[in-house]
Structure 1
Amino acid sequence: MIEPELLKILFNNLPIGLSFFDANKRCICANQCTIKMLYKNYNDNEIYEIYDNLYNDYLSIIHNEDKEEEVKNFLKIQSDGKEVTSNIRLYIHDKAEYRWFSSKKTVFKNHMYLLMLEDIHDNRTMEIQLRQETIKAEEACDHKSIFLANMSHEIRTPLNGIIGMLTLLEDTELNDNQNDYLSMIKECSFNLMTIINDILDFSKLEAGRITLDIKPMSIQECVESTNDIIITKICEKSLEYLYNIDPLINYIKGDTHRIKQVLLNLLTNGIKFTDSGTVILNINYISENEYNKLFELYGTINKYKIKKDMMFLRFDIEDTGCGIDDIDKEKLFKSFSQIDNKITYKIYQGTGLGLAISKELIELMNGCIWLDWSEIGKGSRFSFILKVESYNEVNEILENNNDSILKDKNVLIVDDNLYNRISLTGMIKKWGMRPYAFSNSEEALYFTKIMQFDIGLIDYCMPKIDGPTFASKLREQKEYNNKKMPLVALSSLGEKISKTSKHFKSYLIKPFKESHLKKTCIQLLETNSFNVIKNETQTKIIENNSYQNIDNYIRQNNLDKLKDDIRILLAEDVYINQRVITSFLNKMGFNNIQIVENGQQCFDLIKEQDFDIILLDIRMPIMNGEKALKLIKNYYNIETSKKIPYIIAITAYCLSDDKEKYISLGFDDYIPKPVSYMDLNKCIDNFIKILLRD
C-alpha cells in the first residue's frame, strides 16, 4: 500500500491542476499546480483562507466569454451527477496571458467534486491556426475557381464566335487547301475547349465542389452515348473499336455523366495514341472478393458501406498503340504530367490532366484506377473498378418483358473477332434468344447444313471467306434449311458496303447500339420483305453528322408554315455571338428573330410583344439572365392570359454542373458556350415536340 506521505508528494507534483470541493463549493484540498495557476504569490499559512475562496478565485480568472458556461457546468454536475468536460480560457498570472485549459468536473460520493485543469493552450492554438489556414486555403481555392470560371467565360466568348463561324464556313464552297485549313482551325478550337474544360474540372475537384448525381442509369446506354462521340475519330484513323458489356450488368444506380466522362477520357487517350489496330472496352461483373483484392492493391480509403444489392464492376480499356515506358508510368495520374517520349510529344500534346481528373472522379465514386499493363510498341490497358447499387426494379421489368417473338430463336453469329462474338452473344442472350457463334465462315456453313437458324449476324469483312461470299454460298446450298434465313451484315465504319445486296436484309455499322440490333431482329422476324432496313443513327454518322431531325419531323407532318410562325427573342450582348446564333437559326429555317443586348431590354420587349422562344444569355450588362428570368416568370404569373415562352439559358460561365442548376432556377433548357449547331438544334427540337404535343 502506498504511504500517505508518498501520495501527497505525487498529488502536489502532478502537471495538471487537481482540486476537491464539497457540496457548498468550498475547496477541501488542491495541489500545487492549481494554486500556482490561481495565485501569483502565496504562503502556506494562507492555505485555508485560499481554500475558502478558491471557487470564486477560479471563476475570477475565467475569460468573460467562457465564465457563464462554466458556472452552468458546475450546476449541471450538481443536479445530474454526470461528468462534464469543457475547454475554457484562464488568465495565468505567471504568463500574464489567457491560456486554453481543459476543465473536467467529476462527482465523488458524499457530494464531493473533483476539478481537473490541464493546459492545452499550445495544441488549441495550433488547432485554431490550422483552422484559420484551412479557411484561408479554401477561400484561395474559391477565388481560384471563380477566377478560372471568369477566365473561362472570357475565353469561351471569342471561341464561340470562332467555332460558330467555322461551322457556317463549312457550308460554303471551298477548295481542297481551304478545307484543310478549316479542318485544322476547327480541331485546334475544339482542343482549346477541351483544355479549358479540363482545367475547370480539375479546379472543381481540387476545391471539393463536384458532387455526384446518383440515380438509376443504364450502363449500356452510357457506353453507347460515349461511342457516339468517339466514332468519328475512330473512322478518321481507320481503327477497329470493340466493346463488350457483361450480360449480368444492366441498370445500376450511379452518376451517368461522371462515368461517361471517365470512359471518354480513357477511350480518347486510347484512340489518340493508336495509329493502327484496335481499341477495346470491356465491362465485366466481378465478385466482391475479387473487388476487395484489387482495391487492396490499387485503392485508397474505401468509404462506401456495403449494401444489400451491390454490384462490383471492372472496366478495361485496351489499345494497340505506342505503349508507355517505365519512367512515364510513374507520372501517370499526376496533375499536369505528360509522357516525355520525344516522338509522341509533339503529336499528343495536352494539359496532362485527363488521367488525374479520371482518378479523382473514380475515387469520388469509391473506386480505383490503375495501369494494368503497357509495353512500348504493343499497347496499353487501363483498368478501373466501381462498387455500385443494382437497380433491381428496372432489371426485373426488363427480365419479364422480353419480346416473345425473339424468345428461343436460334441466332447464327459469324465474326472472326473474339470480342465481337462475346459482345453479340451477351446481347442475344438478354432477349431470350439462343446464340451460336463461329469464328470462320467454313465452320458456320457446315453447321447451317445440319441445324436450323432463324436469323444470321454476319461480319462483312472476314479473312478467306468474307460476309457477301458467305451469304452467296449459303443461298447456293442444296440443303433447304437456311436458304431463306434473314441475314444482317455487320460492318465497321468506313468499310464499303453494298446497301442493296440481295443477300442481306439489313446492315448495321459497328459499334451499333443494342437497341438497334434488337429492333432489327424483331423487324426481320416479323416480315418476309427483302427490303434493306437502314440503321438511321449510323447512316446519320456516315453522312457527316447531319442533324436535320427538325426539318424531317416538320416535313413529315406537313407543318412547314410552323417555322415562319415561331417568334424567337435572343438576349445576347456580344455581336459575334448574335451573328452566330441567328445564322444557325436561319440555317434551320427560322427567320422571325429579334435581338436585344441585356436582360432589361428583354423584359421590356416581352411586355410589348409575344414570343415563343427566348434565348437568354446568363452574363449580360445592366441586367443578367438570372434576374431577367425572375422578372419574366413573375410577369407571366400575373398575365395569366399570355402563354409563357420556352426559355433557354446560354452561358459560358462553367463553374458547376450547369444544366441542373439552370433547370432548377426555372429555365426550360440549357446551351453551353461555345454554342454548337447541334446543341441549339436539339433545344429547338425539344420545344417543337412540346408545341406539337400540346
Structure 2
Amino acid sequence: MSRELSTIETFNEAADHILDLLSRLLSLNTLFIAVNDGRTNHILRAFNRTEPLVAAGTQLPLPEAYCSLVPNRRGGAVVIPSTRRHASASAMAVTDALGDRSFVGVPILLADGTLYGTLCAMDDPGYPVSDWELRTLHSMSVFLSYTINLEREHERERIRSEKLQQRRKQAEQRLKRLRERHRSAQARLTQSSDLLAMLSHEIRNSLNGTIGMTDLMQQSGTTEEQDFYLRFMEDSNRNLLQLLDNILDYSKLSDGEVSLEVFPIDLLSIVEDSVFLFASQALAKGLELLIEAEEELPLLYGDAGKIRQVLLNLLSNAIKFTESGSITVHIRSERLEERPGHLRVFLSVADTGSGMTEEELEQLFHKYSRPHEGKRRQEVGAGLGLYISRQLAQRMDGSLTADSMPGRGSVFTFELVLRAEPTPLVQLNHAPVAGKRALLLDGSEDLRKSIGKQLSKWGVFVTGSAEPQDALRLLAEGERFDVLLAEESFSSSPAMKELTARASASGLPLVLMAPIGGAKTAGAAASGLEPRTMLIKPVRRFYLIHALISALEEGAASRMS
C-alpha cells in the first residue's frame, strides 16, 4: 500500500510512491526512474509487470542508455515506438540485449532547469502511448522534480543549521574565553583600583601634612623671599592634590562606578561653602569672590557632592587663570512648564581672566586637553578636570558649557534640572532692614554692585563709595545713613580715621568687611576703627542680614544713650 503524500519526505520515498501509483494507472510493462551525473545512468527504482526488462541498481554509461535521448527541457519527452528502427537507439548495445522495444521518457528537472534524471516506460514494440498516459508521466515527473528540489532545500537548510550551530558553539566558546579574560581583567583592575586607592590615601595624607606645615610656616614670621617660596610650595601641593582627585574621578567614570545620590539640598549654601574654600587663594591674588543669586531658592533634591565637585573645579580654574579683577558665581532658575515641580537651575562662574580663543574652546572639554598650556608657568595637571566635570553634569541630566573671548574672561555655565519644593528653603526676615539707608565703602566696583543688588532686594537704599574721601564728602553734604559698611583695607587711611570718628560721633554703626585671613581687627582698632560687626568676604547673605540687624540695633541703642 502506498504512503500518503503528506508523509513523503525524500526523493526515494517519492520514487517508490510514483512507481506504485503508475503501475496501477498505466498498463505499460516496465516503469523505471533513473538519475544521471552526466556520465553514468543509474536505475534508481524499477517496476516490471511480467517480463523483467529493467532492474534497480543497473548502471550504464549515459550515451549507452535510452535516457540520454530524453530532451533536457520542461515539457519535453521522447516517444520511440521501435528501438530497432530508431536511428540512435538501434545502435546501442542495450537494444541488442533487450531486443526491439517501445520506449517513452520524460525529464526530471531541478529548479534551475538542470536535468536530474528521467521517468521512463518500456513495452513491446509498437505500444500505442496515449496522450493521457504521456500527460500522467509528465505530471509524475513534475512531482518528482518538486520532491528533489524540496529535499535539496531541506538539505541546504540542514547544512545551514549545522553551520549556524557550529558558529553558535564557536561564538559560545569565544564568549566563554572573553568572559574568562574579562574576569581576569576585572580582577587585575580591582587590584589596580585597590592599589590606586591605597596609594592615593597615602599621597593625600602626605600632601595634606605638607600643606598644613606650609600654612604654619607662613604664620611664623618669614622673610619676603621665604614667603614667595612657601606660596609656590603651597600652590604646587594644592595642584597635586587636585590632580590626584581628578585621576581618581576619571578612574571611577571609566569603570562606571559613579552613582548619583538624590537628597534634599540647600543649593545656595553649597555655592557659598564652595566659594568660601577659595577665599584664601583669592586673597593671595587680590581677587574678589562674589555670589549673585537672583531669587530665593526652594528646597531642591539632587546630589550635593557631585554639584559641589563640578563647582569647585570651575572655581579652581577661574582662580588659576585670573590675575586681577573678580570671580562671580551667578545663580538663577526658571520653572519648567513641561515638568511641574522642577526647576532648571543655572550656576555660572564668570571670571575676568585671560579668556580663550574659539580654537581653545573647541578643545576645552576633551580628555587630556590643556588649551592654556604654555601661557602660564604655574599650570599643571592632566587636563581631566573639565572633562570630568562635563561627564558628571551629563550623568545628572545636565550640561556644562563655556563662553569666552581673549582678554575678556570666561563664563562657564553648569545647567541642571532638579526637583523642587513649592516654598523657599529659608525665609530671611529682612523687615528690620527694609527702608534703611546704607553707605557701602569698597574699592571693588564688582563687590559694590553685588552687595548693593542683594541689599536692594531687602529694601535697603544703598549708596556706593570707592574711597573714604567720597564717603566723607557725602556726610559733609548732609547725607543721612543708618549703617556704614566699609572694607577693612582702608583702616590705615587718614581719611578713614576721620570718617569713623565722624560716624562714631553721630552714632552711625560700622560693619567692617575683610577677606578671610586678612581681617586685622587689632590693627583696625589701633587705627581707631571699632566695628560693631566683622563680615568675612566672600560675604554670605545670611551673615550679611544678621550683621546689618545687629549693627542697626546697637546703633539705635548708642544714639539713645
Same fold (TM over 0.5): yes
Do residues 520 (structure 1) and 547 (structure 2) align? yes
Deviation per residue, 1:116-172 (Å, 9 max, x gap) = xxxxx9999999989997997798578536513422313532552464367458758
Q: Any gaps of 5 or more consecutive residues in structure 2? A: 19-155
Aligned counterpart, 1:574: none
Q: Separation in 1 of the partners of 2:267 and 2:188?
A: 37
1:138 and 1:467 mapped to 2: Cα distance? 71
Give 1:94's aligned amino acid.
Answer: I
1:268 match: 316
The alignment status of 1:93 with 2:138, answered yes or no, reads: no
Please report how far the alpha carbon of residue 508 of structure 1 lies from its aligned counterpart in structure 2 after TM superposition. 2.0
Contact 2:288/2:326 (<8 A) preserved: yes
Question: What is the distance in 1 between the residues matched to 2:482 and 2:168?
Answer: 78
Query: 1: CA distance between counterparts of 2:267 and 2:334?
Result: 15
The residue aligned with 2:64 is none
**Cα pair 2:207 2:241 within 8 Å, conserved:** no
In the alignment, is residue 315 of structure 1 matched against residue 341 of structure 2? no
Q: Tell me the amino acid that sits aligned with residue 457 of structure 1.
A: L
Q: Deviations over 1:508-529 (max 9, x none)?
A: 2321222222221232233349
Partner of 1:552: none
C-alpha distance in structure 2 between counterparts of 1:283 and 1:130, whole Å: 51
Q: Would you say 1:225 and 2:265 are equivalent positions?
A: no
Asked if residue 325 in structure 1 is aligned to residue 373 in structure 2, the reply is no
Letter in 1 for 2:254: E
Partner residue in 1 for 2:512: 489
Query: 1:373-452 maps to which residues of 2 (within 5 A)?
Result: 373-375=404-406, 377-392=407-422, 395=425, 398-399=426-427, 402=429, 405-406=432-433, 409-413=436-440, 417=444, 419-425=446-452, 427-428=454-455, 432-438=458-464
| Equivalent residues of 1:244, 1:420 under 8 A apart | no
Q: Is the 8 A contact 1:411 1:455 kept in 2?
A: yes
Contact 1:456-1:488 within 8 A present in 2 as well: yes
2:499 maps to 1:509 = no
Q: Aligned pair in 2 of structure 1 residues 357, 123: CA closer, same or farther (>3 Å)?
A: farther
Structure 2 CA distance for aligned equivalents of residues 496 and 387 of structure 1 = 42
The separation in 2 between residues aligned to 1:466 and 1:389, in whole angstroms, is 50
Structure 1 residues 450 and 352: alpha-carbon distance in aligned structure 2, compared to 1, 3 A threshold: same
SS of the residue 1:144 aligns to: helix
Corresponding residue number in structure 2 for 1:103: none
| Range 132-141 or range 379-388, more displaced | 132-141
Question: 1:357 offset after TM fit, Å?
Answer: 0.7
**1:604-641 C-alpha deviation (Å, 9 max, x unpaired):** xxxxxxxxxxxxxxxxxxxxxxxxxxxxxxxxxxxxxx
Shift of 1:373: 1.8
Normalised by the length of structure 2, the TM-score is 0.59
Q: C-alpha distance in 1, partners of 2:484/2:227?
A: 42
Counterpart residue type for residue 236 of structure 1: A
- 2:195 corresponds to: 150
Confirm whether residue 164 of structure 1 aligns to residue 209 of structure 2: yes
Change (3 A) 1:486 1:207: same
Q: Name the counterpart of 2:384.
A: 353
Partners of 2:456 and 2:176 lie apart in 1 by 57
1:255 to 303, 307, 331: 303
Flag the structure with more relative contact order, 1 or 2, with Cα contacts below 8 A and sequence separation at least 6.
1
Q: CA separation of 1:223/1:141 partners in 2, compared to 1, >3 Å: closer, same or farther? A: farther
Which secondary structure state, in structure 1, belongs to the residue aligned with residue 309 of structure 2?
A: helix
- Partner of 2:405, secondary structure, is strand
Distance change in 2, residues 1:512/1:124 (3 Å): farther
Distance 1:137-1:248 versus aligned 2 partners, 3 A rule: farther
> Partner of 1:324: helix, strand, or coil?
coil
What corresponds to 1:63 in structure 2? none
- Measured in 2, the distance between the counterparts of 1:174 and 1:466 equals 21
Q: How far, CA to CA, are the matches of 2:356 and 2:524 in structure 1?
A: 41
Mark the runs of 5 or more structure 1 residues left unpaired by the alignment.
1-26, 49-90, 101-120, 290-305, 532-694
Instruction: State how far apart, in whole Å, the 2-side matches of 1:130 and 1:251 are.
Output: 49
Q: How does 1:519-598 map to 2 (within 5 A)?
A: 519-528=546-555
Amino acid at match of 2:421: Y
Indicate the larger mover: 329-338 or 276-285. Answer: 276-285
Letter of the structure 1 residue corresponding to residue 412 of structure 2: F
User: 1:337 offset after TM fit, Å?
Assistant: 1.4
Q: Which amino acid aligns with 1:499?
A: A
Q: Per-residue deviation at 1:213?
A: 1.8
Seen in structure 2, the aligned counterparts of structure 1 residues 370 and 165 have a Cα distance that, compared at 3 Å, is closer
- Aligned-residue offset at 1:356: 0.3
Scaled by the length of structure 1, the TM-score of the pair is 0.49
Q: Deviations over 1:44-93 (max 9, x none)?
A: 67999xxxxxxxxxxxxxxxxxxxxxxxxxxxxxxxxxxxxxxxxxx952
- Report the RMSD for the aligned CA atoms in angstroms: 4.9
Question: For residues 157-196 of structure 1, what are the structure 2 equivalents within 5 Å?
Answer: 157=202, 160-161=205-206, 163-164=208-209, 167=212, 176=223, 184-185=232-233, 187-196=235-244
- Tell me which amino acid in the other structure corresponds to 2:393: I
Secondary structure, counterpart of 2:429 in structure 1: coil
Do 1:159 and 1:189's aligned partners in 2 also have CA atoms closer than 8 Å? no
Q: CA deviation at 1:338?
A: 1.1
Spell out the pairing of 1:231-310 with structure 2 (5 A cutoff).
231-286=279-334, 288=336, 307-310=339-342
C-alpha contact 1:246 1:426 (8 A) present in aligned 2: no
Q: Cα–Cα, structure 1 residues 347 and 218, in superposed 2: closer, same or farther, change >3 Å?
A: same
One-letter code aligned to 1:507 = M
Q: How does 1:328-339 map to 2 (within 5 A)?
A: 328-339=360-371
Aligned-pair distance for 1:369?
Answer: 1.3
Per-residue CA deviations over 1:14-70 (Å, capped at 9, x if unaligned) read xxxxxxxxxxxxx9999xxxx9xxx7878767999xxxxxxxxxxxxxxxxxxxxxx
Once the two structures are TM-superposed, the CA of residue 280 in structure 1 deviates from its matched residue by 2.1
Separation (CA, whole Å) in 2 of partners of 1:287 and 1:323: 32
User: Equivalents in 2 of 1:175, 1:484: separation in Å?
Assistant: 41
Q: Which amino acid aligns with 1:489?
A: L
1:214 matched to 2:287? The reply is no
Asked if the contact 1:145/1:203 (under 8 Å) is kept, the reply is no
| 262 and 407 in structure 1: CA distance in 2 versus 1, 3 angstrom threshold | same
Secondary structure at 1:97's aligned position in 2? helix
Q: CA offset at residue 505 of structure 1?
A: 2.9
* C-alpha distance in 2 between matches for 1:168 and 1:443: 42
CA distance in 1, matches of 2:259, 2:189: 19
Whether the 8 Å contact between 1:313 and 1:385 is mirrored in structure 2 is yes
Counterpart secondary structure, 1:490: strand
* Equivalent-residue separation in structure 2 for 1:324 and 1:98 (angstroms): 60
Hey, what's the Cα distance between the residues in 1 that align with 2:210 and 2:249?
27
> Residues 140 and 522 of structure 1: is their aligned pair in 2 closer, same or farther, counting only changes over 3 Å?
farther
Q: For the structure 1 residues 403 and 286, does the alpha-carbon distance in structure 2 shift closer, same or farther, using more than 3 Å as the test?
A: closer
The offset of 1:202, in angstroms, is 1.0
CA distance in 2, matches of 1:484, 1:193: 49
CA contact (8 A) 1:370 1:382 kept: yes
**Residue 201 of structure 1: how far off its partner (Å):** 0.5
- State the Cα distance separating 1:190 from its structure 2 match: 3.7
- Count residues in correspondence: 410
The structure whose Rg is larger is 2
| Cα distance change, pair 504–373 in 1 and its aligned pair in 2 (3 A) | same
**What is the correspondence of 1:51-200 to structure 2 with a 5 Å cutoff?**
93-95=158-160, 97=162, 99=164, 140=185, 143-144=188-189, 147-157=192-202, 160-161=205-206, 163-164=208-209, 167=212, 176=223, 184-185=232-233, 187-200=235-248
